[in-house]
Amino acid sequence: MANASLPTPRQRLDTLPFDNRFARLGEDYFTRVLPTPLTNPRLLHANTRVADLLDLDHEVLHTPEFVQIFSGNRVPPGADPIATVYAGHQFGVWVPQLGDGRAILLGQLRNARGESWDLQLKGAGRTPYSRFGDGRAVVRSSVREYLCGEALHHLGIPTTRALSLVVADDPVQRETVERAAVICRVAPSHVRFGHFELFYARGQCARLAALADHVIDEHFPELSGQPDRYIRWLECVVERTARLIAQWQSVGFCHGVMNTDNMSVLGLTLDYGPYGFLDGFDAHHVCNHSDEGGRYAYDRQPAIGHWNCVRLVQACLPLLAADVQQAAEIGQAIVDRYPAVYAKAMTDLWRAKFGLREARAGDPELMNRFLTLLHRGHADFTLSFRALASVRSADDDTAEALRARIPDAAALDAWLSDYRARLRSEQSDDAARRAAMNAVNPKYVLRNHLAQRAIAAAEAGSAAEIERLLEILAHPYDEQPEHAAYAEEPPAEARHIVVSCSS
């Protein structure tokens, strides 16, 4: 008799099956380090959806033992805390050694479905890679990451997530004195492009191969032991990265710090700092106040993704062939996959956003004209696409919500005439198209002013706004009329919230 109907066994804290397989690579890849205890740690919020990924019993989430473990004050049985070492290109500048300066990997947990999850404490104190930092995170930045991992996950975008958010009394100096916090980040892996760059730069080809084999064996098992496994694995990473960034672009998400040490080898959104979702559309929007040159502007993210993939493949050239020229040619062929994969993913996503079923030669121009209208009028990106879904193919008044957002009425009318003709040419069904568009154009995104509201409440000791936002953002494509205020543009006084690398 099948066991499919049996409930999943729930894990208790004293029997968590930790297994730090990354640590078995050897100490060239990390340093063992214990978290630094916090003063008076207390749970601000626990994410039951992520607890379910780990088969954790919900009852343990609010116990003193849970707070002690996930604040870093107590190492659970079986955990092997480490901080990993890597390098990277930061704002295009090579930095020969970085590492987990404020994150400590406890190990991996495998759930009943066979999925393996890294548990990493961010903000757990100094490590050998903290350089001049204190190894701490603050409530402000921790709330932002805690919320955004869930926001992107429910938008269908690959991402790290977080199990818990613990706050404490310890003062932390940033621009001002803030309070310490720790989140437990959860992901299949936290291995970055920069891990490979480090060993390439050091000329340690054996270490490079061992790391690649670890990633392949853990996350690409179909490639394990294959003679061409490194080529096929890198092709997967490049393609995943291209599709990830296409997804970011489609919902107006700006990462803010696309350094190679912030890029995941699994194609996950990694390291939430000065991110932001577009409000008024500006194709050149720079969400990170620290990015004075605009390197990571919204419209530059696709090209930076390609540049970063070039750095990863370059770091892995010794794995591709013994002959240097042959390795370079293979590597070039791998990175050359990025533009076509990105273009297809982006075109497919935009076509879905516009409700176009069929591919037509004039579609890119039609879609770009609409984006130009948004850009010129600084129209709200999310709400404009949501309003577009209500436009019928007939010449009627269903475009009024869109007209209210785009100030150039004449240019909009000319575009609408062409758009409606395009819809009629494929005999588009208005109701079906609206439903399909609303399924890919979110109504709710994590705007900076919403995150700031949750931060203010958290700093006052309340998790109510975090809980409310998590519930709303879990259903970003639904109307949720009772929460309509959370879909509105930011009020005037909140339109100039600044985020930086300290965020």
Beta bridge partners of 500: none
**Greatest distance between any 2 Cα atoms in the chain:** 68
So what's the pLDDT on residue 500? 66
* Residue 282, marked binder: no
What is the model's pTM?
Answer: 0.96
Asked if residue 335 lies in contact with residue 308, where contact means CB atoms within 8 angstroms, the answer is no
* Residue 135, marked binder: yes
State the Cα–Cα distance between residues 299 and 234, nearest whole angstrom: 25
Q: In degrees rounded to 5, what are phi and psi of residue 255?
A: -75, -45
* Residue 122, marked binder: yes
Considering only CA atoms, which of 503, 29, 91 is closest in space to residue 308? 91
Residue 365's contacts (CB-CB under 8 Å, 6 or more residues apart) are none
State the Cα–Cα distance between residues 55 and 112, nearest whole angstrom: 7
What residue ranges do the domains of the chain occupy?
13-190, 199-261+279-348, 354-438
Mean pLDDT of the chain: 95
Lowest mean pLDDT among 67-71, 90-94, 130-134, 353-357: 130-134
Specify whether 169 is catalytic: no
| CA angle (419 as vertex; 394, 350 as ends), nearest 5 | 130
State the Cα–Cα distance between residues 342 and 337, nearest whole angstrom: 9
* Residue 271, marked binder: yes
CA R_g for the chain: 24
- In this prediction, residues 170-188 reach a mean pLDDT of 96
State the Cα–Cα distance between residues 7 and 61, nearest whole angstrom: 19
State the Cα–Cα distance between residues 315 and 87, nearest whole angstrom: 11
Q: In degrees rounded to 5, what are phi and psi of residue 224?
A: -55, 130
State the Cα–Cα distance between residues 141 and 256, nearest whole angstrom: 14
Q: Which two tokens stand for residue 206?
A: 């054996």
* Residue 262, marked binder: yes
Q: HSE on the CB side for 98, CA within 13 Å?
A: 21
* Residue 52, marked binder: no
State the Cα–Cα distance between residues 158 and 186, nearest whole angstrom: 12
* Residue 192, marked binder: yes
Coarse DSSP helix, strand, coil percentages of the chain, rounded to the nearest 5 percent: 45, 15, 40
The residue from 261, 279, 291, 380 that is catalytic is 261
* Residue 156, marked binder: no
High-pLDDT (> 70) share of the chain, % = 97
Q: Does residue 339 have a pLDDT over 90? A: yes
Three-state DSSP at 467 gives helix
So what's the pLDDT on residue 1? 39
Residue 265: what residue type?
V
Burial of 40 from C-beta contacts in 10 A (0-12 / 13-18 / 19+): exposed
Q: Which two tokens stand for residue 300?
A: 């530059």
State the Cα–Cα distance between residues 243 and 311, nearest whole angstrom: 18
Q: Does residue 250 have a pLDDT over 70? A: yes
State the Cα–Cα distance between residues 102 and 270, nearest whole angstrom: 15
Q: Does residue 2 have a pLDDT over 50? A: no
Distances (CA, A) of 227 to 223, 232, 236, 320, 331: 9, 10, 16, 10, 16
Q: Does residue 59 have a pLDDT over 50? A: yes
So what's the pLDDT on residue 11? 81
State the Cα–Cα distance between residues 140 and 55, nearest whole angstrom: 29
Packed helices 464-473 and 139-154: angle between N→C axes, nearest 10 degrees: 20
**Tens-place pLDDT, residues 269-312:** 999 999 999 999 999 999 999 999 999 999 999 999 999 999 99
| CA 404 to mean position of chain CA atoms | 32
Q: Which two tokens stand for residue 491?
A: 């009020």
Considering only CA atoms, which of 74, 109, 113 is closest in space to residue 189? 109
DSSP-derived letter for residue 494 is G
Considering only CA atoms, which of 365, 310, 350 is closest in space to residue 333? 310
